[in-house]
Amino acid sequence: MSQLLEATQSECQVSRTLQRIESVLSEHEALSPYANAIDVSVYESTVVLEGTLPTAELQQQLVASIRQAGVLWRIKNNVAVEATATKV
């Protein structure tokens, strides 16, 4: 039973973390137009970011914004910078 409880707590943590990140992206002035272009997942206590953004500055703001939201997990930023990316 304790293993089930631990798994449930872990799943809740992942869910809350993903919700927090989605909220940050949707509310961020510069990143919100691209929020749907960023895929966020969790793999072994690491937040994995994938997708494309039009500038390196936005790519850097992405991780900084997630950190400001209180996400202390490791973040693997696989978001590419693509000059031709369009707003979604």
Please state the domain count of the chain. 1
Q: Are 23 and 77 in contact (CB under 8 A)?
A: no
pLDDT in tens, 31-86: 999 999 999 999 888 999 999 999 999 999 999 999 988 898 999 999 999 866 45
Asked whether residue 24 is assigned to any structural domain, the reply reads yes
| CATH number, position 49 | 3.30.70.1770
Whole-number Å distance between alpha carbons of 64 and 49 = 13
Asked whether residue 36 is assigned to any structural domain, the reply reads yes
For the record, the structure tokens of 50 come out as 């994938």
What's the pTM value of the predicted model, to 2 decimals?
0.80
